[in-house]
Chain A
Amino acid sequence: MNTTEQKNLEAVTAFLQDKVNENLLNETNQYFSQQVAEAFTNRKYEVDEIFVQGEKAIARIIISAVHTGGFAGNVPTNKPVKISQYRHFQVVDGKIVNHQGWFDTGTLLPQIQG
């Protein structure tokens, strides 16, 4: 990793560790993203891994939460779940210029299905 990538990694890490940004992590382009925030409560965010290449970075975030609301046809189970999220960042001169998230539902559904 070169110096610029190191700087970009630091910017992404700082962004993800700042609790002020947690609400931003609930937003994705997926049609059900608002449902995620409503159905899974008591959310805790943890950075699992970050890949950096030039101006790009992709982070995998693990959200621990409790399934307290309906999601994709599944009634609340009150079970603890772990939701994986990937978030892509574009970082220029150590500043995040845009980011876009994606929830993994392939590992989520089996946790809440009977």
Chain B
Amino acid sequence: MNTVEQQNLKVISEFVEQFWNKNDFACTDQFLSDDYQELSYQSTEGLKKFAATILESFPDKRYVVEDIMAKDDKVLVCMNVKGTHEGMFFGTAPTGNTIDVTLYRQYRVVDGKIREHRGWIDMVTMWSQIRGN
């Protein structure tokens, strides 16, 4: 792994902690580039709105990075999220059920700023945990 790849890993680790765990949604100003491409939530605003929805639905949510790998300007993160369903989640009233779901995020980092993001999550498992079946 070269120095840039190491720096990119550091940027993404910090962003995941600050944005997804500390819920500092305004930190996008600091971490994202001006020409940021959001490929899963339409836009930076879409990303923040989604994160706010998740926080409202699962107030105790906690993301743990299980694997993080860099290749050139790309960083792939494999994460786990756990939380309790205590708020409305896309039309489903709180159930008190816990979720334990795997997700992946891939970023591109250019000159220390996040240029692009795309995410993948196992919604079938998540919905089955929310519905308790």
Contacts and interface: CB of A to CB of B under 8 A. Distances in A.
Contact of A106 (B1, B70, B74, B119): B119
A108 B1 CA distance: 33
B122 A58 contact: no
B78 interface: yes
Contacts of A106: 103, 119-123
B23 interface: no
Contact of B71 (A32, A51, A84, A109): A51
14 contacts: A30-B122, A49-B71, A49-B74, A51-B74, A51-B76, A58-B69, A58-B76, A86-B78, A102-B102, A102-B104, A102-B122, A104-B121, A105-B122, A105-B124
Contacts of B78: 58, 86, 88
A32 B69 contact: no
A106 B70 CA distance: 23
A17 interface: no
Interface in B76-96: 76, 78
Interface string A93-114: 0000000001111111100000
Interface in A41-95: 49, 51-53, 56, 58, 72, 84, 86, 88
A105 B67 contact: no
B69 A104 contact: no
A79 B121 CA distance: 21
B80 to A, nearest CB: 11
